[in-house]
A and B are shown apart, each in its own frame.
Chain A
């Protein structure tokens, strides 16, 4: 039972997804906008890290406050363990967003959208890898869920971050308002169950 860290190489950028996050609902993106996005991608990509800290715990859980524990265990009924994870693309993304938010907000907006797309892509990459590894052991993984969504209280974030030793392992910290720094970070829980043979 140890916190582990895994680094990923950059998953390919899904540009449609970035546009969706940026509030561009149109089908066609005009050239000047797509050029601006390409500029953002070129500037951001070399500065991003893709790190995940994770920890597998057997069920029933001995940690988490009773309320959160009940919600988690309900969500993973029938599972024999849960994988906790925290993922981040690093604080450089925050710096880039802040830099342009003061000088060129359109670029800041696209970088922010790119950051959202990147962190989701990282979570997807981690979960895909997890599914493959678990499959080898005859296990399968449920879809991930996060504090603040559904019934799991946002406050569960505190314990998740502490259990994963996230500040030390991947440089992910929580502030007093339960906001994560770096901003483009995700914490989540995945139920692991035995596949019916």
Chain B
């Protein structure tokens, strides 16, 4: 019987600890245990055999750290082939009568993935893929990914397993005492992502004992629709007289784990500190237990790297602002590759209270796959909201799906054959909840019935691809009411029918309804309320619309979703008390008074105030004179204060941010007209270095002083810097490095720039740099701090 079939009908017993047993037999600290498969095969076979004798159905090969980061290609193959052979031999020699399987054990790489580490996601997939291919080559029965404490690395491993084998894959994560992974994921978020990617069973192992991990396992049982397994430690280790002792004994361990088998857990074993005795006790305790049926939960759920969002009675707000349609400033940011602008939009939406961010970066003249990938990478680095990948470009969709850290929403598929043939295979492979538009080759039907008919067709087609109903959300399309007075009503009928007749969730791009009308907010928010009442599950909307947010909060209170109306009351406190106090009190002042107040706002670092005053002044003053006569003098005053050590870095930054807020207002006003672009400065943190706070400070100040800054980010290869310097014919490059170990990369970058872009000047900075260091690597200038970087740039580019 193969393991997939076995899994369906049996409780399966896993093995116990390996590392602790090897240490007891002389494995030295720092020694690679995987090598023992070659050097001490008898020891390894004996441990495996004792687990099979104790009753394990599945024994993991001694390959926890067998990957190409730790072994060269030849040794890796030897290690894996020996490990599989040892497990096979143990199975053959064991006296146990049960079905026996060999699992390829895969642990974490020990490196952290980008952006907070330096291992690229695809590189991680490649590393796991090599191990998987070797395991398949030497004939394992299944793949066991375990002890993963980062959701992103878990995804890399599972993707590699799925892409390089057809074997069943079990995936197990290590949770801390707070019930989350070290990088923040909740069990619910992990299960959503892993099921989406096609894990055959999901589990919990290592870190703690059975009692401490029980709540995590119960959460798995609550949300998972695939078998759940459990492989805890023998409690916590203690050192007693130089020996490590775990505090949960075999019988106690077996009792606690077997109790969970009775609650629906389908597989069990042990991790650190457990031995064949523990597994024997577990086998005895599990004897006679019948496997509980796997409950297929109809949960429509998406996830980020931290948490899940469930579509249920709670209406879900999907922020629509990351989208260039009709937004000049956004288009300009996209063309300039200005990711900060996109991030700011996302962060502002989160602060307004949306639960999901729609991400659309499509522009005709833009490389959308590259841009969407970059936007998703940047957004998920700093924002913990699940994303809705919004693109009609299948290449962009697949690339974004690959690198997304969680289970996303996909926007969108529709009833056209071509659309379904493109989107469904991607959704099946990577997982995701797909937004399905009820239109087809003949357009959007007028009647609700016809739209529901398309929805039925989409459902049937999705089923062929193995995509369950719960992973579709229908958008019956909000049409413009000014064009057809019955259109809005008909869509609401479709919402209700899809909910009631098909049992599916719905989403609407609410704002479309008011197109062409005045006072759109009033129309949108009323329509939103009507749609919610009709059973709408989610809305793509603008969270900066106060009317929409009022409707949302009021609806939750009225629909019994807000206990004691607590959320509504908290929300109401953020609303302006009366209309009269909302205006920024700057109007009555004269222009010159406002101007000096703008300088003061910048000097004091008051962002909102600086922006408001600038907007007011722009009504009468030309933008350029505001910059030259107000903002630059204010910045200079602060800059000189900093150089004279009267003003400290935090204050300098607050002023720079206030000035930036003012510049943003000016930028918005002069858009389209030739906004003066300053001289180009490329900045980057060098290869190998991932700390860029200093570089970002320099960027802010350079922008304040009118330079056109092109920020290449951190961990940037010398070739990338040189390429951009040549492409833009940049007169100046600024490089930063934090560590002595990355200064050589800086030297290399400068050398390459000298060769490829001999006209380009280079200034350097960063914690470990000194004037001498800068001289020795051939930089033109060393800037001690951000202010000096501005002075350097002004001098070099004079």
Q: Chain A residues in contact with chain B, CB under 8 A?
A: 1-2, 4, 7, 22-26, 30, 32-33, 36, 49, 55-57, 62-63, 90-92, 94-95, 97-99, 101-106, 108-110, 112, 148, 154, 159, 162-163, 167-168, 170-171, 173-179, 181-183
Contact = CB atoms under 8 A, between A and B. Distances in A.
Contact of A181 (B107, B117, B700): B117
Given A98-B382, A108-B693, 20 more contacts: A1-B242, A1-B244, A2-B239, A4-B237, A23-B649, A26-B648, A56-B239, A62-B28, A91-B184, A94-B116, A95-B116, A103-B344, A106-B653, A109-B649, A154-B740, A163-B30, A167-B112, A173-B112, A175-B112, A175-B118
B30 A49 contact: no
Nearest to B118: A175
A59 to B, nearest CB: 14
B382 A36 contact: no
B693 A181 contact: no
Contact of B147 (A56, A168, A179): A168
B678 to A, nearest CB: 20
A1 B29 contact: yes
B769 to A, nearest CB: 15
B648 A23 contact: yes
Contacts of A106: 605, 650, 653-654, 656-657
A14 to B, nearest CB: 17
Nearest to A96: B382
Contact of A33 (B117, B382, B650): B650
Contact of B244 (A2, A104, A108): A2
B684 to A, nearest CB: 15
Interface string B629-670: 000000000000000010011110110110000000000000
B381 A2 contact: no
B111 A173 contact: yes
Contacts of A62: 28-29
B468 interface: no
Interface string B585-610: 00000000000000000001100000
B775 interface: no
Contacts of B650: 22-24, 33, 36, 106, 109-110
B691 A4 contact: no
Contacts of B693: 97, 101, 105, 108-109, 112
Nearest to A61: B29
Interface in B112-126: 112, 115-119
A173 B152 CA distance: 15
Given A1-B29, A177-B688, A105 B648 contact: no
A95 B347 CA distance: 13
B695 to A, nearest CB: 9
Interface string B353-387: 00000000000000000000000000001110000
Contacts of B244: 1-2
Nearest to B697: A105
Interface residues of B, number: 64
Given A32-B605, A92-B184, A179 B689 contact: yes
A178 to B, nearest CB: 5
B488 to A, nearest CB: 37
Given A33-B651, A94-B116, A175-B112, A181 B177 contact: no
Contacts of B645: 25
5 contacts: A24-B650, A33-B651, A105-B696, A179-B689, A183-B691
A15 B183 CA distance: 27
B28 A175 contact: no
B118 A182 contact: no
B150 to A, nearest CB: 7
Contacts of B604: 32
B347 A167 contact: no
Nearest to B786: A105
Contacts of B382: 95, 98-99, 102
B264 to A, nearest CB: 28
Contacts of B285: none
B692 interface: yes
B381 A95 contact: yes
Interface in B17-62: 20, 23, 28-30
A163 B29 contact: yes
B29 A101 contact: no
A30 B176 CA distance: 40
Nearest to B149: A171
Interface in B369-411: 381-383
B689 A91 contact: no
Contacts of B219: none
Contacts of A94: 116
Interface in B471-499: none
Given A171-B183, A175-B688, A162 B30 contact: yes
A175 B117 contact: yes
A74 B245 CA distance: 32
B165 interface: no
Contact of A24 (B381, B648, B741): B648
A55 B2 CA distance: 42
A4 B182 contact: no
A155 to B, nearest CB: 9
B449 interface: no
Interface in B738-760: 738-742, 745
Contacts of A110: 650
A154 B119 CA distance: 20
A95 B237 CA distance: 31
A57 to B, nearest CB: 7
B739 A101 contact: no
Please give me the 9 A-B residue pairs with the lowest Cβ-Cβ distance, nearest first.
Answer: A171-B182, A2-B244, A106-B653, A177-B688, A99-B382, A175-B118, A181-B112, A23-B649, A181-B117
A178 B653 CA distance: 30
A99 B347 contact: yes
B340 interface: yes
A181 B690 contact: yes
A182 B30 CA distance: 22
A45 to B, nearest CB: 14
B116 A105 contact: no
Max chain B Cβ within 10 angstroms of own Cβ: one of A92, A95, A108:
A95
B653 A109 contact: yes
Contacts of B653: 105-106, 109
B691 A104 contact: no
B296 to A, nearest CB: 33
A51 to B, nearest CB: 8
B178 interface: yes
A22 B654 CA distance: 13
A168 B656 CA distance: 41
Contacts of A92: 184
Nearest to A164: B29
B110 interface: yes
A29 to B, nearest CB: 9
Contacts of A154: 740-741
A55 B559 CA distance: 56
A102 B340 contact: yes
B541 interface: no
Contacts of B209: none
Interface in B97-136: 107-108, 110-112, 115-119
Contacts of A108: 693, 696
B343 interface: yes
Given A55-B29, A163-B29, A98 B115 contact: yes
B508 interface: no
Nearest to A88: B182
Contacts of A57: 29
B174 interface: yes
Nearest to A178: B741
Contacts of B237: 2, 4
